[in-house]
Structure 1
Amino acid sequence: MASWPYSTSQWQGLRAAKLSASPLCEPCLRREVVEAATVVDHVVAIAKGGDPFPPLSGLMSMCTECHNIKTNAKDHPNATGFRRALKGFDVDGNPIDGEGWEPGAFEGRAIDGQGPARKTNEDLVLILPDQEGDLWV
């Protein structure tokens, strides 16, 4: 991390401000996993035209694992761009990294996160005619 802009006091201050504002890994939080952020990542890499000193909204607090996955998928010079930068799904079943999804793919489907996507009792319990089944959920 000794190369410009990471060796500057301006970057160190920006990094500290981002980690103070968002101390947990943002991609992990979307999966409801609590993990401390140790890395501050440029949303748009400097090598791909990103601002070296963007506003805090142009930065993302990440754990080392999420940062390495994102960097290898999107920011690395040999990255093909076909891998997802942020793996996994949020609690509503939506991909964390929405790239590549058809616009309107989820239209007409209520996703409120307040309950299961299907009637789980019907999916998990076999009720025979004239008999009551116990609920497992």
Structure 2
Amino acid sequence: MASTSPWHHLYKTKRWYRLRWHQLQVEPTCRLCRAPGTVEAANTVDHVKPHKGDEDLFFDASNLQSLCKPCHDGAKQRQERTGILPGHDVSGIPVDPNHHWNRD
């Protein structure tokens, strides 16, 4: 999230702080780290679907996931740029549900 984005002010609201706190209580470990079998504390709340300033989507609790900072700044950003979530689980299966190996 760039601090110059038109929706940056939403991250400074009491409503966001409460929603963020609740998300980290419900999901205290990084969702992306758990897929390959690693447990890492989450410290970042991420919007699964980019909100682009849509307040309904921004404050939608079902659109949130807890991530560690390295996953948020690395794997998640790469997924948003390329459409592919990098990484695999302990059995070697790609963690991206849209990967062709994970399709029926």
Matching residue within 23, 32, 37 for 1:32: 37
Q: When the two structures are superposed, what TM-score results if normalisation uses the length of structure 2?
A: 0.78
Aligned-pair CA distance for 1:45: 0.8
Gaps of 5+ in 2: none
For each residue in 1:57-101, what CA deviation from the matched residue of structure 2 results, as whole angstroms up to 9, or x when unmatched?
311100011101212430xxxx3x25x23x211234321112241
Q: When the two structures are superposed, what TM-score results if normalisation uses the length of structure 1?
A: 0.61
Kindly report the root-mean-square deviation, in angstroms, between the aligned alpha carbons of the 2 structures: 2.3
Give the 3 Å change call, closer, same or farther, for CA 72–89 of structure 1 in structure 2: closer
Alignment of 1:1-137 (within 5 A): 3-47=8-52, 51-55=57-61, 57-69=62-74, 70-74=76-80, 79=81, 81-82=82-83, 84-85=84-85, 87-101=86-100, 103-104=103-104
**Matched residues, percent identical?**
33
Give the 3 Å change call, closer, same or farther, for CA 72–93 of structure 1 in structure 2: closer
Q: How many residues align?
A: 96
Bigger Rg, structure 1 or 2: 1
Gaps of 5+ in 1: 105-137
Aligned-pair CA distance for 1:48: 8.3
Between Structure 1 and Structure 2, the one with more helix by share is 2
